[in-house]
């Protein structure tokens, strides 16, 4: 790639820059995790106008957005980033949406297509798609379907134990082990760690942290959040010798497992 000839784009959330156009896979992977609500959505659509509409809509709702304009490009993006949900068009150049669907793993796929054949819809839903929305669509309906699929996906994650690197969290027994050693956490510390684990590597805004853990820990406030995280960080460090939780200045926190 001729990097010196490419225009620069500035990510409005994190302020970093990267090359545009043919380097877009690099940019999207680089800035995939700066969303304020912690969720990343990949739009796979060769129609730039529709893709731009969807991107603007999603970013207004606080989602981070990845873009791919063909099935082949989508596979490249998926190698460098793990989205939380995919919006998939079917009529793509090269690798079609129908061919691409079985290769998308680990996240719900919402098909957004002008194809309205009922048999085709049924085949795709039975073949792995989480939902199917026909173009043209109502933006409110699209957002609602996305929210529902993300909620279902999150519920599935929470129903099982989570293991990331050296950390294992069992949501049934509400226990945590680090490097196979038990770690005693308060209710608030547990809720914070659970959210950071489920979004490992992503920056989670302070306001998002407070909102997501509010049902479990109504006593946690913005002023006390820093103290809770400081205690959690110290407990994890005592067992592992590692600093897992990183403060991102002006935004929030993220869990690094490297």
pTM (two decimals): 0.53
Residue 258 has pLDDT above 80, yes or no: no
d(CA 185, CA 162): 16
Higher-scoring residue by pLDDT: 217, 92:
92
Residue 256 confidence class, pLDDT cut points 50, 70, 90: confident
In the prediction, which pLDDT does 223 show?
83
Classify strands 40-44 and 64-68 as parallel, antiparallel or unpaired: parallel
- Is residue 143 a contact partner of residue 205, using CB atoms and an 8 Å limit? no
Q: How crowded is residue 43: how many other Cβ atoms within 10 Å of its Cβ? A: 25
Residue 219 confidence class, pLDDT cut points 50, 70, 90: confident
195: enclosing H helix or E strand: helix 187-198
Residue 250 confidence class, pLDDT cut points 50, 70, 90: confident
Burial class (CB in 10 A: 0-12, 13-18, 19+), 116: exposed
Do the first three CATH levels of 3-158 and 162-255 match, i.e. the same topology? no
- Is residue 21 a contact partner of residue 5, using CB atoms and an 8 Å limit? no
Q: Following DSSP, what letter does each residue of 225-251 receive, concatenated? A: HHHHHHHHHHHHHHHHS---EEEETTT
Take residue 88 and report the two structure tokens written for it: 């998939």
Higher-scoring residue by pLDDT: 37, 178:
178
Q: End-to-end CA distance of the chain: give it in Å, rounded.
A: 29
Residue 201 has pLDDT above 50, yes or no: yes
Take residue 6 and report the two structure tokens written for it: 């490419």
Take residue 192 and report the two structure tokens written for it: 């914070």
d(CA 53, CA 55): 5
Q: Where exactly are the structural domains of the chain?
A: 3-158, 162-255
In the prediction, which pLDDT does 99 show?
94
Q: Tell me yes or no: is domain 3-158 CATH 3.40.30.10.
A: no
180: alpha, beta or left, given left = phi > 0 and alpha = psi -120 to 50? Answer: left
User: How far is the CA of 80 from the CAs of 28, 60, 75, 145, 207, in angstroms?
Assistant: 9, 24, 9, 26, 28
User: Hey, is 175 helix, strand or coil?
Assistant: strand
In the prediction, which pLDDT does 37 show?
57
Residue 163 has pLDDT above 80, yes or no: no
Q: Which CATH class is domain 162-255?
A: mainly alpha
Residue 145 has pLDDT above 60, yes or no: yes
- Is residue 128 a contact partner of residue 102, using CB atoms and an 8 Å limit? yes
Q: What proportion of the chain, given as a percentage, has pLDDT over 90?
A: 42
């Amino acid at each position: 790639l001729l990097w010196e000839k490419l225009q620069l784009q500035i990510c409005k959330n994190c302020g970093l820059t990267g090359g545009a156009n043919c380097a877009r896979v690099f940019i999207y992977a680089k800035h995939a995790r700066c969303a304020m609500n912690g969720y990343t959505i990949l739009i796979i659509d060769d129609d730039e106008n529709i893709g731009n509409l969807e991107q603007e809509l999603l970013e207004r709702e606080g989602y981070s957005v990845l873009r791919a304009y063909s099935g082949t490009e989508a596979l490249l993006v998926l190698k460098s980033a793990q989205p939380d949900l995919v919006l998939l068009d079917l009529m793509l150049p090269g690798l079609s949406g129908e061919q691409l669907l079985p290769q998308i793993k680990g996240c719900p796929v919402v098909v957004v297509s002008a194809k309205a054949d009922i048999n085709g819809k049924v085949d795709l839903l039975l073949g792995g798609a989480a939902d199917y929305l026909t173009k043209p669509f109502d933006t409110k309906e699209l957002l609602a379907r996305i929210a529902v699929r993300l909620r279902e996906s999150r519920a599935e994650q929470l129903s099982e134990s989570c293991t990331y690197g050296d950390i294992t969290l069992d949501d049934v027994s509400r226990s945590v082990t680090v490097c196979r050693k038990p770690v005693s956490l308060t209710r608030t510390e547990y809720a914070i760690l659970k959210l950071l684990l489920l979004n490992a590597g992503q920056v989670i805004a302070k306001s998002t942290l407070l909102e997501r853990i509010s049902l479990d820990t109504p006593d946690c406030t913005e002023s006390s959040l820093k103290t809770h995280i400081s205690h959690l960080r110290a407990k994890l460090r005592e067992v592992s010798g590692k600093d897992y939780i990183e403060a991102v200045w002006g935004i929030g926190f993220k869990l690094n497992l490297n």
